[in-house]
A = this chain, B = another copy of it.
């Protein structure tokens, strides 16, 4: 459990600080915040709202109960008792050094202290600290609640153990800590970004293209390559069977060509700033920042989900990381408690996801079965047929399903589902599930399903465990009193009897 952050503190709650706060809270970690900015609570609240919406699209895995968020009146109050303190104040050395020195003095001695600086060297930041060995840079990328990367950089006095512990503690909150070998200003990511930014400014200034064209050049080509492989792996492929060595031999000479103006620094005149701002307005001004954020977040979630299917379903890059994060969520989620009442069991709350709708905005046929499948999965976990049980070699397989469509579902519509146990024996489970509109309660679809308990290795039916059968009996005791659902026991096209 040493790798699980128990209490976090965030000093500075802007877009980056707010992103860290959302990461921690949604991973179930309590966060205390200090930020003297009068609008800090509003800004953090907006980032958190974005993050919650995004996580709903990112994963169906069970998020832990959200951590407790407390705004504090002083830095000292915020860091008290925290085991991870993240500093995200404005990018000025004197300011950051002062804040970090105060954090160091107030924090418990073994607390880790990360700085979100995008360029300052940790050696300069830790100069005045009493326990400088636990100070490191944890440089994240916006939006912090979705993009997994944190560059971990130590200064001269940072211990190796600090970096390794920081990396290990980031994994359970879905982040990828990457340790940078030597400290330099701007580390690795911002070095790369800065040169694209510089070159980009020249291209705009010299009227080679406008901002929209430059963005299109990036996102219709190497942007997609870099979402899943970086530069060197991509070029390795470009080198073909001959590999990296061949690639360098072929393209190395370009380095001395007169292709770049990188040796000059663009003069950021008012004229150039106007030009960029105007082009950016023409390109993106039709949409507000909040709308662009929503679009970006949905795209990032979709990309990560797509990468989860990568490498033949084993997961690739950020998609593999998402799969690991989900596995962690499932593993650490409390076992659901079965509480049977006089109603069908309410099992699932979902919203119709953009990927679920057709070009008319209606939920596609097979997504109904996806919701019914998730519903029966939730029921199975509730009776004890969970991941551990499946790993032990037993499982329930669906053998038959009868779906009736009674209404339409639209993009974003909130739905909930229930299941009613019709009958069961040692091997069979006969259920009737319903999908309702969450706002009106209207029934939009039903599914009658037969599931069979199997020995998955042998591939044949066998009796379920006594623990499962006991839970089924408890449900049956209540559900046998429910009326038989309208539509149950019917074949396709059969009229109401």
Contact = CB atoms under 8 A, between A and B. Distances in A.
10 contacts: A178-B213, A181-B207, A190-B259, A197-B255, A219-B317, A226-B226, A227-B299, A229-B292, A252-B268, A255-B265
A493 B232 contact: no
B15 A240 contact: yes
A310 interface: yes
A195 interface: yes
Given A141-B221, A236-B289, A323-B359, 8 more contacts: A119-B257, A192-B199, A219-B318, A226-B226, A243-B280, A309-B354, A366-B370, A491-B491
Interface in A223-257: 223-234, 236-238, 240-241, 243-245, 248-249, 251-252, 254-257
Interface stretch (A1-9, A154-162, A336-344, A396-404): A396-404
A221 B149 contact: yes
A387 to B, nearest CB: 10
A59 to B, nearest CB: 14
Number of copies: 2
B268 A255 contact: yes
A127 to B, nearest CB: 19
A129 interface: no
Interface string A184-228: 111111111111111111010011111111111111111111111
B450 A238 contact: no
B300 A224 contact: yes
A474 interface: no
Contacts of A372: 366
Interface residues of A, number: 155
A187 B195 CA distance: 16
| 7 A-B pairs with least C-beta separation | A215-B230, A302-B306, A223-B226, A227-B227, A149-B220, A195-B195, A149-B221
A281 B303 CA distance: 27
Interface in A145-182: 147-149, 151, 176, 178-182
A276 B244 contact: yes
Contacts of A182: 206-208
A304 interface: yes
A386 B182 CA distance: 61
A201 to B, nearest CB: 8
A233 B216 CA distance: 10
A332 interface: no
Contact of A181 (B209, B215, B317, B404): B209
Interface in A335-380: 353-355, 357, 359, 361, 364-370, 372-373
A253 B229 CA distance: 31
B255 A230 contact: no
A224 B263 contact: no
Interface in A282-329: 283-284, 289, 292-293, 295-296, 298-300, 302-307, 309-313, 316-318, 321, 323
Nearest to A490: B491
